[in-house]
Every structure is written in C-alpha cells, then in structure tokens.
Structure 1
Amino acid sequence: MAAARATVAVVATVSVAALSYFLCDFLSQKTQLPRSTKKKKKRQLGTRSGVIGAIGNTPLIRINSLSDATGCEILGKCEFLNPGGSVKDRVAVKIIEELVVQALESGKLVRGGVVTEGSAGSTAISLATVAPAYGCKCHVVIPDDAAIEKSQILEALGATVEKVRPVSITHRDHYVNIARRWAAEANELAAKHPKINQGNGEMSEEVNGFHPDEGRPAAVILNDCKGGLFADQFENLANFRAHYEGTGPEIWEQTDGSLDAFVAAAGTGGTVAGVSRFLQDKNPNIKCYLVDPPGSSLFNKVTRGVMYTKEEAEGKRLKNPFDTVTEGIGINRLTENFSMATLDGAFRGTDMEAVEMSRYLLKNDGLFLGSSSAMNCVGAVRMAQLLGPGHTIVTILCDNGMRHLSKFYNDEYLSRFNLKPSAVGLEFLGIK
C-alpha cells in the first residue's frame, strides 16, 4: 500500500513538473515576439512630434459585416482617427509644408499670416487644426448650406469663418473664388499697408480702398496685415502628392501588397488620384474604381469620357453645387488633382444607399461614419459584387459622423428628400 502511494506521488510529481515545463515553454513562446513585431511595437510606442506627427499611419481595419456578407475582405482605412478628424489632415499638412513654409522662408509670408481656403468643411477644419503649428492663422470661406457643426468646429479652432450662398464655380462669388480673391487682397494690403491698425486695435477709417463696413468684418481685415496664402485644395497638386506619398504606400504596406481593388469617391480628387496612381504603379493589376454621388459628372467622365450629369441637363438640380445629401464628394468640373487618377471604372451611388449604409455599419460594426465614408462603403460592396468572393478590397473611411449630425444623421432633414432609412440588412444593395 505504501509502495503504491509512493508510486502515485512520484507520478504526480513528474506530471506537475512536466505540466509546469510545457506551460512555461508555452507562455514564453506567447510572450516572445518575433524580431519584426518587436520593432513594430517599438515604433508604435515611440513619441511623435506634436499634432503634425500624429497625422497619418492610420489603421486599416476589416469591416466585418461587409466582408462576411460578400465573401471578400473589405478593408477600411481609418482616416477619421487623424487629429483633425478626417483624411484632409494629410492634405492640409502637405499644402502648408509646400506652400506656407516656403513662403515663410522666402519672406512672402510672416508668422501670423493667414492661410485661406474655400471648403465645404473637412479641409478647412484640417487647415485650422494644423496652421497654428506653423504660426499661421486660418480664414475659411464656406457655403452656408454645409452642416452647421463644421462652422462651429472651425470657430472653436480659432478660424475666421465667412459663410456665403452656394453658387456655380463659374460665378465670381463661389466660395472657392472668394477665398482666392481674399488671399490676393490680403497680400496687397500687407504690401501697401503693413500697419493697418492705429495701435489701439481699432481700424483706420479706410485701408487701400477697403472700408471696415464694406462686406467683411473688421476682424478679418485686421488679420490681412501679415499677408495671406490660398491653399487651393482643388488644383494644388500637393493634395495628390499627400496621398501618393502617404496614404497609398501605407495601404500597400498594411496589405503586404495583397489587394485586388481600391474604390473611393472624389471631391477634389486628390485621394482617389494619389492612391490609385501609387497602387497601380506598384501593381497594374489592382483595379481602381470611383464611386460617384448623384448630380456629379465624374461617373460619366470615367465611363464615357465626357463631363455630363443628367440632373444638369434636365434642370432638376435641388441645390447647388450638386444634387446630393452627401458632403465633400461629387463635382462638375475636372480638377488638376482628379486628372492624375488612374481608374478602371466607376460606380454610381445613390443618397438612399449612402444613408442606409451608414445606419447598417453603425448597427452591425459600431462604425459611426460620415456621408462620404458611407458612400465609399457602398462602392466597396459594388466592387465585391463585380469581382466575386475571395478578393481584397480597400476603401477610405474619410471622417466620422460627428460633423454630420444636423443633416446626414438628422431624420427630419432627410425626410425632406424622402430618405428615411428602413433596411434590415444589405437588401438595398441586392444582398439578402
């Protein structure tokens, strides 16, 4: 009996020892990171230099609901995690580095000068976010039908906001044209009247033909004394370069080059152009597609070679500049940035699809996305349907829904356009 107990004790001891050995070995393997992973971990934990250093290197996530529904890997580049809240942070930094820094170094602009832009919101917010890091102020001309949150954010960031009625780009008072003219006037004022105020913060009676009461608040004119630069996001190819040199390479690295398609909408065209050009330079077999909202003529430019939209021809435009509830995408002219895109085709997206997609992703993935991001996801599903299961598709999650509460996420506003979301799944895209 004693011998039996001794035998059991020995076996138990050996078993515990063996278990401990294998457990320790297992844990050591779990905690032992590969060399490449450790390096990556170290980079991630390192500090970055100010708000500028926090821009870019955004995560690429699998959108689970869309991937599972289509049989494709649908990946979203989380640009809403940039400090200014959108993909436009990259553009703002690139424009300022190429335009403003050079002007500061050459003496064409001094610290405290003003960067001005005509924007529907996101680029303006990004410029207002990064401009102070370069010692500059920001003046924004914005259409007065943009979501109110955008102008509120801009004002909170310290930007001067000038709201104007929406008109065609050919009109001298289109918000982009006003911004361009404003920058030229600021430079003229700076050159001819370096000391605009009287030393007590009050305006002189008249400055270079401009009276404080004529058209702009005195505070705007006061800022002119140190000059201004027009960012020109639509035509400035720094926009394209920001994505060719940044967003595109990040997507390539994050997918190890194993992607089949990229799809995104276009406003200025910088994102879709920079990313598509880079990816196809790396691998011409990657399909790059545009998804275009209602009222925009880019779909026909890509598919038929002409700038045309039926809303214009039939006179059914509900609002200017184009007939859609999505903001920041769609356009009726060919910009320098969009001209750089290399696209294989285009999809037409609808407002209803964008609205339904935004609610679907919020409910199924916890993704609270803005209108352009929702349209991009519509395009990603269309791409998956075109290619079939087993492919990897990347799109851009431009911004989140926080700056779209008063319009895109406002049921009362949407009801004016008969855009009440009701889908249970993805049946609005033909998936049951």
Structure 2
Amino acid sequence: MPTGRPQHRDDPRLRKSCQSQRSPYADSKRELFTVWPQTGTVDAFCAAVGTAEMLTGVSASLREAGSKSRIVALEPASSPTLTTGTAGPHRVEGLATGIVPPLLAADAFNEARTVDGEGARRTVLHLARQEGIFASTSSALNVSGAIRLARELGEGHTVTPATGLKYLAGDLFED
C-alpha cells in the first residue's frame, strides 16, 4: 500500500479509470428523498471516501434539493489523506489509500474527519454479533463516524451515514 505523499486527483492514471463511467449517483435525488423526508431533518450526512462517487453524488442531490445538511467525508485515521495530506496503510476495504480520488469535488463536503480503522473493525463484529447486521468495514467506518457526529450534535439532531442507497437505482427494491 502506498505511504507518504498522496497522489493528486488530476493524476492521468487515476482520471482515465473514471472518465467514461456514468456515476450511479447521477440520479440520486429521487432515491434520496424517497428514503429521507424533504423536511430538512437530516442535519448531517457522512460517508467514507472510496471513489468518492457516493459522497459527491449524494452531496449534489442534497444541495440541489435545498438541504442545509452538513456533509462529512470520512477516512481511516491511519491514512489521513484528506485531513492532513499524508498517506498510510489501513485495513478498511474499499476506501482510497493515499490518493485524493479523481471524482471528489472540493465543494462536495463541509469537512473531512478521520475515524479509527481498528475501531471500525470492532464495530463490524459488534454489528454482526449483537445487531444481526452483516456489514463491511467501510460500512462500519460510516456507522462509527455517524455515532461520533451524532454525539457531538446532541439530542434532537439527525445524522445519517452512507447506506445501501446506491442499490435503490437498480432492481433490488422494485417490489
């Protein structure tokens, strides 16, 4: 895994892999507001950054709908590329390591935060053993980040982490 200086989002090797792909979040507004009320009750949305398609697409949809939701990009603490500009190894599958993803728009989020990757791994086990939820480590990083953010905001605020929202665009939930 890369360490040291992160690659830049304009690196042609990174950009090429994303150029011809249509984002699955391009039409996320409809799905977002089928799931979330349009009342502005979502105070914050947080998502771990992999390719950054979800964070950028969901953020754009929320903004387009007039939401004032606080958008928080999450990354493993051992690879704080967005927060400090340094790269490092981590064990959270599916997340960027040492790069600023080419699809990450600078205005897509209000802040970037680190989350303990080993804590996310413990959260995976808790979710499976105690809650009956089989999740990935990146999902658990989202849950861990959302819990921390919700505690900071306090009672009466709604925080939602990235979810299986991208699957709403397919046929999985048609019935």
Which TM-score applies when normalising by structure 2? 0.75
Q: Percent same amino acid among aligned pairs?
A: 23
Contact residue 347 and residue 382 of structure 1 kept, 8 A? no
> Which of 49, 52, 63 is residue 280 of structure 1 equivalent to?
63
Seen in structure 2, the aligned counterparts of structure 1 residues 237 and 369 have a Cα distance that, compared at 3 Å, is same
Count of aligned residue pairs for this structure pair: 155
Seen in structure 2, the aligned counterparts of structure 1 residues 387 and 249 have a Cα distance that, compared at 3 Å, is farther
Contact residue 288 and residue 343 of structure 1 kept, 8 A? yes
- Pairwise CA distance, 1:390: 1.6
Larger Rg: 1
Which residue of structure 1 aligns with residue 169 of structure 2?
none
State whether structure 2 residue 55 is matched by structure 1 residue 328.
no
Seen in structure 2, the aligned counterparts of structure 1 residues 394 and 254 have a Cα distance that, compared at 3 Å, is same
Task: Decide which structure has greater helix share.
Answer: 1
Read off the aligned partner of 1:390 and give its amino acid letter. Answer: G
Which residue of structure 2 aligns with residue 253 of structure 1?
34
After superposing on structure 2, the runs of 4+ consecutive aligned residues of structure 1 that deviate more than 2 Å are: 166-170, 235-239, 330-336
Which residue of structure 2 aligns with residue 352 of structure 1?
118
Read off the aligned partner of 1:370 and give its amino acid letter. Answer: S
Distance across 2 between alignment mates of 1:347 and 1:367: 25
Read off the aligned partner of 1:260 and give its amino acid letter. Answer: D
Contact residue 74 and residue 114 of structure 2 kept, 8 A? yes
Contact residue 90 and residue 97 of structure 2 kept, 8 A? no
> Which of 128, 134, 140 is residue 374 of structure 1 equivalent to?
140
Read off the aligned partner of 1:289 and give its amino acid letter. Answer: V
User: Structure 2: any 5+ residue segments left out of the alignment?
Assistant: 165-175
- Pairwise CA distance, 1:265: 0.6
User: Structure 1: any 5+ residue segments left out of the alignment?
Assistant: 1-165, 171-175, 181-229, 301-307, 313-321, 399-432
Which TM-score applies when normalising by structure 1? 0.33
Read off the aligned partner of 2:132 and give its amino acid letter. Answer: G
- The superposition leaves residues 164-202 of structure 1 with CA deviations (integer Å, 9 ceiling, x where unpaired) of xx66897xxxxx95xx9xxxxxxxxxxxxxxxxxxxxxx
Seen in structure 2, the aligned counterparts of structure 1 residues 379 and 254 have a Cα distance that, compared at 3 Å, is same
Read off the aligned partner of 1:238 and give its amino acid letter. Answer: R
Distance across 2 between alignment mates of 1:252 and 1:331: 31
Read off the aligned partner of 1:274 and give its amino acid letter. Answer: G
Contact residue 237 and residue 336 of structure 1 kept, 8 A? no
Contact residue 349 and residue 379 of structure 1 kept, 8 A? yes
State whether structure 2 residue 61 is matched by structure 1 residue 295.
no
> Which of 25, 30, 43 is residue 243 of structure 1 equivalent to?
25
> Which of 347, 358, 364 is residue 130 of structure 2 equivalent to?
364
Contact residue 50 and residue 101 of structure 2 kept, 8 A? no
State whether structure 2 residue 36 is matched by structure 1 residue 270.
no
Name the SS of the counterpart of 1:339 in structure 2.
Answer: coil
The CA RMSD measured in Å over matched residues stands at 2.8
Seen in structure 2, the aligned counterparts of structure 1 residues 341 and 327 have a Cα distance that, compared at 3 Å, is farther
Distance across 1 between alignment mates of 2:143 and 2:135: 10
Distance across 2 between alignment mates of 1:284 and 1:250: 15
Distance across 2 between alignment mates of 1:167 and 1:290: 20
Which residue of structure 1 aligns with residue 153 of structure 2?
387
Distance across 2 between alignment mates of 1:346 and 1:167: 20
Seen in structure 2, the aligned counterparts of structure 1 residues 167 and 358 have a Cα distance that, compared at 3 Å, is closer
Seen in structure 2, the aligned counterparts of structure 1 residues 284 and 331 have a Cα distance that, compared at 3 Å, is farther
Q: Which has the higher contact order (CA 8 A, sep 6+)?
A: 2
